[in-house]
Amino acid sequence: MNNFNTKLIFFFFGLVSSSLFHISIASIVSTGDFNKDFFVIWSPNHVNTSDDGKTRSLKLDQESGAGFASNQMFLFGQIDMQIKLVPGDSAGTVLAFYLTSDQPNRDEIDLEFLGNVSGQPYILQTNIYADGFDNREERIFLWFDPTKDFHTYSVLWNLHQIVFMVDTIPIRVYRNHADKGVAFPRWQPMSLKATLWNGDSWATRGGQDKIDWKNGPFIASFRNYKIDACVWKGNPRFCRAASSTNWWNQFNFSSLTSIQRRWFKWVRKYHMIYDYCQDNERFQNNLPKECSLPKY
């Protein structure tokens, strides 16, 4: 696909995206201030927040990584975060942005950005834990340089599906097939976390490329986040209802639109590099049940 066609497609998508993604001011529970909505969970001296609380960065060096987590827990909604990834030779680093229930049989919705050797494309790995089990990894090459500017990474999580998005483009769908015996995160509330850490035992080329500490410190930056979700108050009934506030549970968001499906297929055709549902060797020709079920 040449650059001219790509620009035309993205221009068209920008014109129609406002009709695809609902925004309900009444359901937005974040303030836009990292100091008010999050707390530091790891290495405060490696977390830097602007005076107005609107931007935050995490630092990784030989001493430590860092992380922060939301003050609230949520059951369904949409999470958006603008992130600028670690620039330069970031091999071995992992930036994780995820929802987790932190229970022994935890549910978790993961985006993990795997550092690269300079000049190589960044890998985004997604994974889903349901009832304590994962092994649902997918990997894509991002189609832009995520270190040059901020890009928006999102998760839509509702009763029907989990949709991972990059700049509003759906890159992965995990459908609720609980009625067919497939585990789906639908009961446990989750908090939102971001961490930057040393993953050089596995992150880049299976651990072959280690962190070169001479290139540190490694810094990832965050801004313009939005948490449009149901705050957990102890009763799942309120979060599972379809209402004007819980817009994500409405029928319009139960599946991808036709335009979203086209973008989803484009990502999988041109940018996907690993799909657990195609790894017969790993699962000894006994792929997980959801692999044979529809995504929308």
Q: What is the pLDDT of residues 10-49, one digit of tens each?
A: 544 544 444 344 444 456 889 999 999 999 999 999 999 9
Active site residue 112: yes
Kindly tell me if the per-residue pLDDT of 4 is higher than 60.
no
**Contact (Cβ atoms closer than 8 angstroms) between residue 90 and residue 143:** no
Q: Which of 108, 137, 281, 290 is catalytic?
A: 108
Q: Which residues pair with 227 in a beta bridge?
A: 79
Identify the structural domains of the chain with CATH numbers, from first to last: 34-291 (2.60.120.200)
Cα–Cα distance for residue pair 143/203, rounded to 1 Å: 19
pLDDT of residue 21: 45
pLDDT digits (tens, 9 = 90+) for 197-210: 998 887 788 888 88
Active site residue 108: yes
Position 292: which residue type?
S
